[in-house]
Chain A
């Protein structure tokens, strides 16, 4: 039976080959160990040689070969122990050394030689230097790359701990650190050559596969650098004078695109940070000597990363870095690399500058100049990579841009002229994301904008989400709306938050208004789709500014104490200006952006502020504007009802108007109520309007009573609609109970003079409800049954309340209720 081929296209057969080869290793190893147990040196060597013969296979892929190598080298450990016990085989190391050279085949012979050699050195019979140098010379005999690489890896592994390193027991007669270094450097150089040469062996169509295999084998070469870094004797001087130059020389001279970046990566990872700090310039200059396709950016990033971690862990790093000019030189190197290679990917470029920024921060070089320089260089370097569409890169850029926001004063960041330039590199969507990220960072950090310039600069930073773009202008409004109304709402809500960052120091209301006006001018350019989301924030900021002035002026810190009953005379001119600002902002909100309902509510809000400060005509104007909006723009019935209640509530609260003004406003309001589309709404409107005649200062009991009576009439009409069917009767009942509650409310105001609401009227209403309830009749419809139950429940609650009132003797309530029959 033929053994399977290791490089069979069929992985199952390749695996079978490996299993068979491993089984063979195991078989020979078994015999080898048995022979060793019997102290039979010759037999043990013969078996070991047969076992190692399996490593002569030329066909397996690296991982398969590695597995076989591991299996065989594990077994050699047993042989080494046997070699080490002279009492068992009675040979000196020299004799052993001679003996194994008789193995017929070079590969098994060299594995055995190395194994004996290790014992030779370990037992002190031979000088480490001589034996190791002899071995490293002899291994040249194997030129098949994979065989050679593993053989030398075995040599490197075996020699570990046997090198004449500084402080090692092999130092002295066995040589010194220079020999140890020389041995490892030679092994490294030879391995690298084998590894590089590997690509040229075999048919040209297998190049890609060979590249893959070389990738797998790379750690065997890299390990030599680790071994060098592990030598005690390799101090900074030796590293700088011998080790590094020899490694770099090999890196440059091998001219291999795989080896160059890999070896530099390993070099950067296995040697200590402080060595890198002392030698970074050498590595920098090597980078410009690499093959054109090598990704130098990632190498530089790795090195900067090590320097950075050193800076982070070492307290004295700042002065060391300054002394070594790390920052300017790194900066220079970045620019040189980017300048020399057109194809440095954006990701690497950003990575380098991000490292520079991190340096700058760590070393506390945060002057605007430096940051500006970095960002400007970044912007220039990325110029040829436009547009940036890779989301990962965009994210990287956005993270980089948020860095100064986190680490510097906002004023420093805002003075960075390069900042908007970097943002401008991104495509529209990413640009927006970054801009919004800036705002979110500022909000998160509770940063404040304290000068008009800051406001302007910040909006300049985030211009892409503030201004309307050309594309938009040409599009029909409806199309745009449909396309992305939800997205823009989300975006502009973030933009709107900038307004809340505006905060003039020391209650400087003049400045506050100036900044708000600046924001107004800028946000106005955003067009209707943005204004509808951003302007409510402006209005609130204006109102907040006004609210801030009122108590400050009244010398009263307790803002809660602002009273509608006794308006305060405010002397500050900035209140009126605030109100003016609010007025103009709400006007834009309705006129430009068409947000009438919101504008109406805001007018009422503003009216309250004016009222508190006793600014009658302004408050009146705000009400007027709200009314105009109500009349002209609110057509939806439900909204009308809702807004009417808000109007009534506000008008009830404020106490600033003279009789005529007030009467005119109330008249309009009751008119709106009467003109509501649905009768039940009119009914509720009518009894709610009753409140307008009974406030802190207005006590018009007749009008209250007339409102209530009017509401009863409307309820009657509801009851009688369509000949008074069950549904209408139940609806009317609900209204009656509502009216009854309002009656009770005003009846309780009798002691304050609300005498027109009488117990007789109350009694009449109660009687009527009772009659109605008894005559509703048989209700079948499930909906009506539910509605009736609700009405009955609410009526029962009201009656319970009345009964309780009958027991309140102390303030005369019981007296008033005594005649009421329920």
Chain B
């Protein structure tokens, strides 16, 4: 029986078309569609899993890869416990963008220790290489060595379409996030003497 409950916030980032939405949909709903649908703004889905003794509610934020569909900015990055950076193993450009995505995230989310902030790198669409028109351009080795050079980021290769490694990647994300949770918890400490410093607080009574 789980003894603790916790809510974790995970952000999925990456270029347009790498399969962020597909990974989330596969993980949360076990569904996959090959149709491309752009994501507008940011939206989350939740999934409960048990990690060791803890019931973890993962709040997974799927984001728009296209900047023009991010009109409200990225303030939802704040308070994230882990970030998943996705690229398409068949697109060199999407791999090269990882650096930018990670940096942008660290700048905007300003976690307490950016160097140690948990980032999981996911190479999606590995199913394509098994097909007849193999076109993989980012080898696992290349990706791993990049991850090592960035301070040992965790790396997974997945296929949202074939459901390969998707659960493993998200579980790693969740474990990572649990470890990091305390670091990012912005604990509210009530003053011993409560002084209302504000003029007129909304006085909407309840019940």
Contacts and interface: CB of A to CB of B under 8 A. Distances in A.
A219 interface: yes
A50 B201 contact: yes
B7 A78 contact: yes
Contacts of B186: 26
Contact of B204 (A24, A105, A220): A105
Contact of A222 (B36, B40, B198): B40
A215 B73 CA distance: 11
A270 B73 contact: no
Given A81-B57, A160-B45, A222-B41, A30 B202 contact: no
**B66, B75, B199 interface centre (most CB from chain A within 10 Å):** B75
Contacts of B206: 42, 45-46, 48-50, 102-104
A373 interface: no
B96 interface: no
A3 B199 contact: yes
B155 interface: no
B59 interface: yes
Interface residues of B, number: 41
Contacts, number: 129
Given A161-B45, A219-B70, A220-B72, A225 B40 contact: yes
Interface string B56-77: 0101000010101111110110
B3 to A, nearest CB: 15
Contact of B78 (A70, A161, A216): A70
A229 interface: yes
B93 to A, nearest CB: 16
A138 B203 CA distance: 22
Interface string B183-203: 000101010000001110110
A49 B204 contact: yes
Contacts of B57: 77, 81
Interface string B13-57: 000000000000000000001011111110111100000000001
Given A67-B75, A219-B70, A46 B201 contact: no
A269 interface: yes
Interface string A53-85: 110100000110011001100100110010000
A229 B37 contact: yes
B207 interface: yes
B207 A30 contact: no
B75 A216 contact: no
A62 B73 CA distance: 10
Contact of A46 (B33, B36, B207): B207
A63 B199 contact: no
B59 A63 contact: no
Given A77-B7, A161-B45, A271-B37, A30 B197 contact: no
Contacts of A105: 202, 204
A74 B188 contact: no
B69 A222 contact: yes
B154 to A, nearest CB: 25
A226 interface: yes
Given A226-B39, A272-B35, A216 B72 contact: yes
Contact of A217 (B37, B71, B79): B71
Interface in A394-439: none
Contacts of A108: 204
Nearest to A106: B204
A361 interface: no
Contacts of A1: 197-199
B9 interface: yes
A273 interface: yes
Nearest to B38: A269
Nearest to B7: A77
A29 interface: yes
B190 to A, nearest CB: 6
Contacts of B44: 157
Interface in A11-40: 20, 24, 26-27, 29-31
Interface in B70-100: 70-73, 75-76, 78-79
B202 A53 contact: yes
Nearest to B31: A232
Given A66-B73, A70-B75, A272-B35, A103 B198 contact: no
B205 interface: yes
A230 B69 CA distance: 17
Contacts of B72: 62-63, 66, 216-217, 219-220
A215 B68 CA distance: 10
Contact of B199 (A2, A218, A229): A2
Contacts of A291: none
**Closest 10 A/B residue pairs (Cβ):** A53-B202, A272-B35, A46-B206, A269-B38, A219-B41, A105-B204, A67-B75, A30-B188, A104-B204, A49-B206
29 contacts: A1-B199, A3-B198, A24-B198, A30-B188, A42-B207, A45-B206, A49-B205, A53-B201, A56-B202, A63-B72, A74-B9, A74-B79, A77-B46, A81-B57, A103-B207, A108-B204, A157-B44, A216-B71, A216-B72, A217-B72, A219-B72, A220-B72, A223-B40, A223-B43, A226-B39, A266-B38, A271-B37, A272-B33, A272-B36
Given A77-B59, A219-B41, A219-B71, 7 more contacts: A3-B199, A30-B188, A49-B205, A157-B43, A217-B71, A219-B69, A220-B41
